[in-house]
Amino acid sequence: MQTSSLAPEGKLELELTARGIRMTRQRRVILGVIESAGKHLDAAQILRRASRIEASINRVTVYRTLNLLKKQGLVDELDLLHVRGDGHYYEPRPARHHLHITCLRCGSVSELESALFERLKGQVQREFDFDITIARVEIGGVCSKCRK
């Protein structure tokens, strides 16, 4: 079977629809941009990419959609140690929390899932009797390429 080339429904769209949330042309475009981005985008970048597909899309709609997705727990908001500016970066919420490792020289971002981190979260839950919903790990430094 082949995937349709027009508006293939992504996970985000399916999730929102399943939760009875209305799907609009604009939302579909924004969701598609977030899901198909190979990297973390900020609001301005999401707007720029969405605009190419649907010229009329407004900045405000991007922010409102991001807020909706955050509230639904479908995307996570990152700062990436503010390598570029004071804005936020977004990614679809992954199955497992992972670390973000940002090179402060070249801005490249690596990700890491780690059993140690799972144990660390367990420690927090136990020691503070704390119910974790978000976990953000942002590590900054210099990558091997930039050290050469």
Partner DNA sequence: TTAAGTGCAAATATTTTGCTGTCAC
Partner DNA sequence: GTGACAGCAAAATATTTGCACTTAA
Binding site for DNA (CB under 7 A): 17, 21-27, 42-44, 54, 56-61, 63-68, 85-88
Residue 44 and residue 88 in contact, taking contact as beta carbons nearer than 8 Å: no
Q: Which does 139 bind (CB under 5 to 8 A by kind): a copy of itself, DNA, none?
A: a copy of itself
What is the distance between the alpha carbons of residues 88 and 85, in angstroms, rounded to a whole number?
A: 9
The residues near 12 (Cβ < 8 Å, ≥ 6 apart) are: 31, 34, 35, 69, 74, 75, 92
Q: Which does 131 bind (CB under 5 to 8 A by kind): DNA, a copy of itself, none?
A: a copy of itself
Q: How far is the CB of 106 from DNA (least distance, A)?
A: 19
Of 88 and 121, nearer to DNA (C-beta) is: 88
Residue 139 and residue 110 in contact, taking contact as beta carbons nearer than 8 Å: no
Strand pairing category for 99-103 and 89-92: unpaired
Binding site for a copy of itself (CB under 8 A): 77, 79, 81-82, 86, 99, 101, 103-104, 110, 112, 114, 116-117, 119-121, 123-124, 127-144, 147
